[in-house]
Structure 1
Amino acid sequence: MKIVKFILCLLFGLMFINAGLDKFLHYMPMPALTADQTKLFAAFGEIGWLMPLVGTVEVIGGLLFIFPKTRALGAIVILPVMVGILLHNVYRTPSSPGITIAVVLFLINLWIIIDNEKKYKALVS
């Protein structure tokens, strides 16, 4: 079970590192967008600091998520981005295959948070 957790966390972390780096380097092709999606991404582009902030959080959270010693922190750091991804997929593109990926990634993140609940108790006591 330990090796399965490590592999899932490694893949999870690498996916977020890749997504974060793409926000700076723009090396992944953009899929065809609907008119609503084009408006949405144009609005995100108007807020000049938003995508660099999200990209930075994704890279840092992804790196922290990979290593067992910092995984609990990485899970909390990446949680707001993960919630945003999930909500975007639920409300904007519910019939796309992206919703399945978003749900699986959210469940992995939730699993790691629950698995590390002892580490968070000092924060809320």
Structure 2
Amino acid sequence: MKIVKFILSLLFGLMFINAGLSKFFHYMPMPELSPEQMEVYQAFEKLKWITPLAGIVEIIGGVLFIFPKTRALGAIVIFPVMIGIVAHNYTFEPSGLTIAVPLLLINLWVIFDNRSRYRKLIA
């Protein structure tokens, strides 16, 4: 089970690192956007700080998620981004849930698996 968790964590982390880097270097193609999605995208473009912030959080969270020693922190850092991804896909792109939901489940698994570490923070 340990090797499965490592492989899933590695792939999860690399996906977020890739997504974060793409926010800075724009190498991933932009999908066709509906008018509603275009409004959201334009709003994010007006808030010049939000896309770089999301990119930095994705990169840091992805790197932390890969390594067992920092995985618990990475899972917490990535969790709000993951909720946003699921909410966005649920609202605008339901077909994306086939990827977003398994990623959310991996994130929740790691959070649950590290619950004893989090207890120390709130005790």
The residue that corresponds to 2:68 in the other structure is 68
Q: Which moved more, 1:83-92 or 1:110-119?
A: 83-92
The residue that corresponds to 2:6 in the other structure is 6
Question: How many residues of Structure 1 are paired with residues of Structure 2 in the alignment?
Answer: 123
Question: What's the TM-score, normalizing by structure 1?
Answer: 0.96
Q: C-alpha separation between the residues in 1 aligned to 2:89 and 2:58?
A: 17
- Aligned CA RMSD, in angstroms, stands at 0.7
1:32 is displaced (CA, Å) by 1.1
The residue that corresponds to 1:50 in the other structure is 50
1:101 is displaced (CA, Å) by 0.5
Instruction: Select 1:101's aligned residue among 99, 102, 117.
Output: 99
Q: C-alpha separation between the residues in 2 aligned to 1:65 and 1:117?
A: 15
User: Unpaired segments of 5 or more residues in structure 2?
Assistant: none
The residue that corresponds to 1:110 in the other structure is 108
User: Unpaired segments of 5 or more residues in structure 1?
Assistant: none
SS of 1:48 mapped into structure 2:
coil
- Structure 1 runs (4+) deviating above 2 angstroms are none
The residue that corresponds to 2:39 in the other structure is 39
- CA offsets 1:12-70 (integer angstroms, 9 cap, x no match): 00000000000000001111111111111111111000000000000000000000000
* AA in 1 matched with 2:70: T
